[in-house]
Every structure is written in structure tokens, then in C-alpha cells.
Amino acid sequence: MKAKNNVQTEYGGNTGRELVKYLKKHGFLVVLSVALALFSSLTALFVPVLFGKAIDSILSDMGSVVNCLIRVGCVIGVTALMQWVMAMVNNKVTYEVTQDIRNDAFEKIQKLPLNYLDSHSTGEIVSRMVADVDTLADGLLMGFTQAFTGIVTIVGTIYYMWTLSRMTTIVVVCVTPLSLFVANFIAKHTHDMFITQSVTRGEQTALIDEMIGNEKVVRSFGYEDEALERFNEINDRLAVCSLKALFYSSTVNPATRFVNSTVYALVALVGAIRVLGGHITVGSLSALLAYATQYTKPFNEISGVVTELQNAFACASRVFALIGESEEEGSQIYDIKASDGSSDDEDGIKGEVDIEAVDFAYVKDKPLIEDFSLNVGSGQTVAIVGPTGSGKTTLINLLMRFYDTDDGKISVDGKDIMSLTRQEHRKRFGMVLQDTWIKQGTVLDNIRIGRPDATREECINAAKEAHAHSFIKRLPQGYDTVLAEDGGDLSVGQKQLLCITRVMLALPPMLILDEATSSIDTRTEIRIQKAFHKMMNGRTSFIVAHRLSTIMDADIIVVMRDGHIVEQGSHEALLKKGGFYSELFEAQFAH
């Protein structure tokens, strides 16, 4: 149960540019957010001016003071309303953007070639779609909420301070670059740490997914201690890289606060000198000190935003790496027509399959199938047998175009399957695999996967043909019983019967059975074999089997070893030949 390697860890493109593409879809709301940030910040900045006037008037005109306080209340009320609306807009933009990103990521998964899914663990992909997108959402929300208002506040305070005291404003502006330099320096050095944190978190999620999904195996073989050791090792690495990232990023805020406190002290010093010199009033000094506080506050907030954005961009790069992966050819639009504009009618498919000099390897320098040729006539049943690793399932993968051949050609009814879209080609086949897949939903929903428009009666008839009807009736709500993910409490055999029922219902022109009855009791298997024989009548069928007793009636038995056909013929002919098939048969029935 070794986890698969994480091949892709960081996006090679421009993460910011990709993020802007998603924000453009919600351009009106983004502009509205910026406008609200602008006006709410400007109205808030007007409050110190009013307080300054009240202070200057407190000894001479109480009516003016009351008037200023009323205006302050109105300004604060309007500002609060705009900030509330802005928060609602920011939340809407953030969560709609992350929804779009998740939709695109999930849609991409449906179009990725199987070699990508084979080389990336499920948990690692889930981590990108869930944890990384959540972190991106947090960064975006903080960015919208604080970055825009912070920038407007900085510009606005400089303007108001300039109108009150140019000398004080010059002092503030001269010290400001030091705060920006500190924040920028630390931010650059924390990005790589957040990337490492995100990758390690994905590795941890992958291990958790692997162990929970195989908990029975873990306990059966006493693997608990080793699993805990692996988890602790990854968890320790995650703790170390997370602490480093958070430690270095957290130094931004204290550093900028130190600089900002220096700014406040300088404003107080220069302002006091200006007051003593009669250049400004006490009320103006009060306003300047308020502006100094408001001016420095956004730097503290923006420093926090920078930290969150670094983390968010690190996570976004992993999500965009997934979205930017090359798609499986022909998967962009499921109902796309063939390259020559034709589309096969399933009723007209004869099922003649020609495999000509096919070469294939999962790893380029390790050939698996070499110079493989096979001719299958219409309606014939082909059994594929051979030891583990001989290439049986690989041949099925090539027939279904889960993988494409490195060389050679596979044709159906004389037409190269590469000239059709994968979706068109796969609609010709019905598959029952050893591995079952049950989605969350009712029994009927699971049976109808191949034919969503099938009636209830048709589903029940298919279940009877597959000998699944009896156990379905015993379920709490029968065919309306809601099954949990992966079948819930159903046994492996029952799940396999449901998968067989799907094919019985769809009745495609060609069939592929890959150890389709491996988890079913012998008595039920005999019945299902009869149903299969009835279903396969007139349909070209490929059967992968280890139990040779199930394929003795096949028209052609293809015996594979090390990616090559070593023998082919009928059961009787191969036994008379006394070759490799005869050895396999005798090994199974020796006792």
C-alpha cells in the first residue's frame, strides 16, 4: 500500500494571471467592492477632521461642537453600512470564484488521462480540490476585505495630512518605505515555505485516505504500527514546515508595528513643535495623530494579508497545476463527432475487432506489449488468460482507449478507433470489472448509470437476469434504498451483482468482462454465466478470467505471457497442443 508519487507540486504558469481570469467573470462585483472600499475609507477619514474642529471649538462654540458630533455620527453610520455591503460583496466574489475553480478542477479530473490518475494518489488530488482551495478562499477574502481598504486608507490619510501639515506628511512618507521593505523581504522568503507546507499537507491527506480506505487490510496484516509511524513522520515534517512558515511570516507584523510606532512618535514630535510655533492648532494635531494611527494600521493589516496571500498563492499554484494538465484527447466535449464527421449507429455495429502489431508500455523504457496482433470476428467470444502481469488487463485498457497504443492499430468494423472520440468509442462497450463502483444514491440510480432513461420495470428485469433481484428486495426500501458511498453495507458480491445488472440493462454492442464473477458464490456464478451466455449471443465479447472453467466455451482463447500471445485457439485444440494453456489448466484441476 505504498502511496503514489506526487509528480506535480507547483504550477509553472503565472498564478496571479490565472486568478485574474476567474475574477474577471465577476467584474461588476469586484468594481463594486473597490468602489465601496474607496468611499467607506474616505468617509471614515473625514471623522478626525470633524473631531479636530470640535476640539478647536470646545472653548468658544458648544453649538459647533454638537453639530460636529452629529456629523460624526452620520459619517460613522454611512461608513458602517458601506463596510457591511462591501463584506457581503467580498464574500460573494470569493466563494463564487472558489466555486468556479472547484468546478473546473472537477471537470478537469473527468478529462485527465488515466496515467495522470495512476501517478497521483487520490488523497493528494482531494487535498488540492478541498484544502488548497479553502486556503485560497481565505486569502482572497482577506485580500478583498483588507487590501483595498488599506490602500485607500493610506492614500487618503496622506491627502488629509498634507492639507493639515505638509512637513509632518513628508516625515511620514520618508519613513514608510522601511515598513514596505521589511514586509516585502519577509514575504519573498516565506513563499517557498508555504509551497512545502501545501505539498506536505497533500501527502498527509493521501496517506490518511489510503489507510482509511484499506483499514481492513491494515488490521488483517498488523500494519497499524507501521501506518502510525508513516503518519507521524509526515505529521512531524508538516509541523516543522508549518512552524517555519508561520514563524517567519509572523515577524512581518511586529516589524511593521515597530516602524509604525516610530511614525506615530515622529508625527507627535513634529506636530507638537508646529503647534508651539503657531503653525497648526491643537485640533489639527489631534487629527494628525488620528491620521498617523489610521495610516499605520493598514500596514499592519496588509502585512497579515501578504502572509495569507503567500499561502493562498502557494495553494493556488497547485490547484492551477491540476487545472492546467493536458487533457485526454477527445475528452473536451463528450458528444463531439468523429474526425470525419461520422457517427456510428450502435445497431449497425458488427463487432469485428482487428489488433495489428500493437506495442505499448506504461513506462517507456520498460516494454510490456510488443507486436501484438489479434483478429476477432463479429459475435465471437474471446477469452484472455495468462499469469498475473502478462498484459491481460492492459489489453482491455487499450481496447477501451484508457491508454493509447505506442505503435500499431486497433480497428472496430474496419475503422481505426483513433478516428473516433473516446466517448463514442466507449459507448460501444459494456464493462464489468473485478473492482466495483457504487455511487451514493438509490439502487435504481446505480442501475441506471448506463441508461438514465430506463424505466423501473426494465431495471427490475435486468436485476432478475443478473440474479440481483432477490437481495435487492431484502433491502429496507428495495430498489429505492439509498446506498452510501461505495455501497455502504453491501457485500463485495452484491456490489458486483449491481454492476452486472447495469450491463444487463444497457446491453451494448460489445462486452468486456474482467473477472466479473470473482466475488460471487459458485451457485450464483453458474446462473450468471447462463445469463451472460444469453447476453453475449451475437455480441463480440472479451472475457478476462483466471478460473479456466468459466471460459471453456469461448470461441477463441488467447493465452498471454509477458505481453505476447503465446497460444490461441479453442479449449479442446489448446489442450491437445499440450502447451502453456494445458499447463495452466492442469495446474487448476490437478486436484
Per-residue model confidence as pLDDT tens digits over 140-184:
777 766 777 777 788 888 888 888 778 877 877 777 777 667 666
pLDDT digits (tens, 9 = 90+) for 292-316: 777 777 776 666 677 677 778 888 8
What is the per-residue pLDDT for 321? Answer: 85
For residue 240, the 8-state DSSP code is: H
Mean pLDDT value across residues 404-430:
85
Mean pLDDT value across residues 188-212:
79
Task: Judge whether 584 and 385 are in contact, CB under 8 Å.
Answer: yes
Task: Kindly list the distances between the CA atom of residue 318 and the CA atoms of 8, 172, 312, in Å, as whole numbers in the listed order.
Answer: 8, 40, 10
What is the per-residue pLDDT for 74? Answer: 87
Write down the number of H helices and E strands in the chain: 21, 12
Task: Kindly list the distances between the CA atom of residue 517 and the CA atoms of 534, 559, 560, in Å, as whole numbers in the listed order.
Answer: 16, 20, 21
440 phi and psi angles, rounded to 5 deg: -70, 125
What is the per-residue pLDDT for 516? Answer: 66
For residue 401, the 8-state DSSP code is: T
Residue 13 has pLDDT above 70, yes or no: no
Three-state DSSP at 463 gives helix
Distance CA 493, CA 511 (A): 20
* Region of poorest pLDDT, from 66-70, 91-95, 153-157, 260-264: 260-264
Q: How confident is the model at residue 8 (pLDDT cuts 50, 70, 90)?
A: very low
What is the per-residue pLDDT for 518? Answer: 65
Task: Judge whether 150 and 273 are in contact, CB under 8 Å.
Answer: no
pLDDT digits (tens, 9 = 90+) for 221-230: 788 888 888 8
Residue 384, H or E segment:
strand 381-385
Residue 104 has pLDDT above 50, yes or no: yes
Three-state DSSP at 310 gives helix
Distance CA 50, CA 330 (A): 66
Mean pLDDT value across residues 398-419:
87
Residue 96, H or E segment:
helix 62-111
User: Helix crossing, 148-164 with 166-213: angle to 10°?
Assistant: 170
pLDDT digits (tens, 9 = 90+) for 523-567: 767 777 777 777 777 888 888 877 777 788 888 888 888 878 888
Q: How confident is the model at residue 123 (pLDDT cuts 50, 70, 90)?
A: confident
Mean pLDDT value across residues 386-404:
84
Residues 487, 489, 490: CA angle, nearest 5 degrees: 60
C-alpha cell at 418: 483513433
Mean pLDDT value across residues 217-241:
86
**138-162 b/e with 16+ CB inside 10 Å = b?**
bbbbbbbbbbbbbbbbbebbeebbe
Name the amino acid, one letter, at 347.
D
What is the per-residue pLDDT for 457? Answer: 92
Q: How confident is the model at residue 404 (pLDDT cuts 50, 70, 90)?
A: confident
pLDDT digits (tens, 9 = 90+) for 265-280: 877 888 788 778 777 7
What is the per-residue pLDDT for 303? Answer: 63
Q: Write down the domain spans for the chain.
A: 15-323
Mean pLDDT value across residues 48-77:
78
What is the per-residue pLDDT for 264? Answer: 77
13 phi and psi angles, rounded to 5 deg: -90, -165
Q: Which residue has the higher pLDDT, 118 or 237?
A: 237
Q: Does residue 160 come out as left (phi exceeding 0), alpha (psi in the -120 to 50 range) or beta?
A: alpha
Mean pLDDT value across residues 410-420:
87
Task: Judge whether 287 and 52 are in contact, CB under 8 Å.
Answer: yes
Task: Judge whether 271 and 48 are in contact, CB under 8 Å.
Answer: no
- 3-class SS string, 470-526: HHHHCCCCHHHCEECHHHCCCCHHHHHHHHHHHHHHHCCCEEEEECCCCCCCHHHHH
Residue 339 has pLDDT above 50, yes or no: no
Residue 334 has pLDDT above 70, yes or no: no
For residue 363, the 8-state DSSP code is: B
Residue 27 has pLDDT above 70, yes or no: yes
Instruction: Quote the mean pLDDT of the chain.
Output: 79
Torsion sign across C-alpha atoms 472, 503, 216, 441: negative
The CATH class for the domain spanning 15-323 reads mainly alpha
What residue has cell string 488523497? Answer: 123
Residues in CB range of 25: below 8 A, 6 or more apart: 97, 100
Mean pLDDT value across residues 29-36:
85
Cα 57 to the chain's mean position, in Å? 62
What is the per-residue pLDDT for 300? Answer: 65
What is the per-residue pLDDT for 444? Answer: 92
Residue 566, H or E segment:
strand 564-569
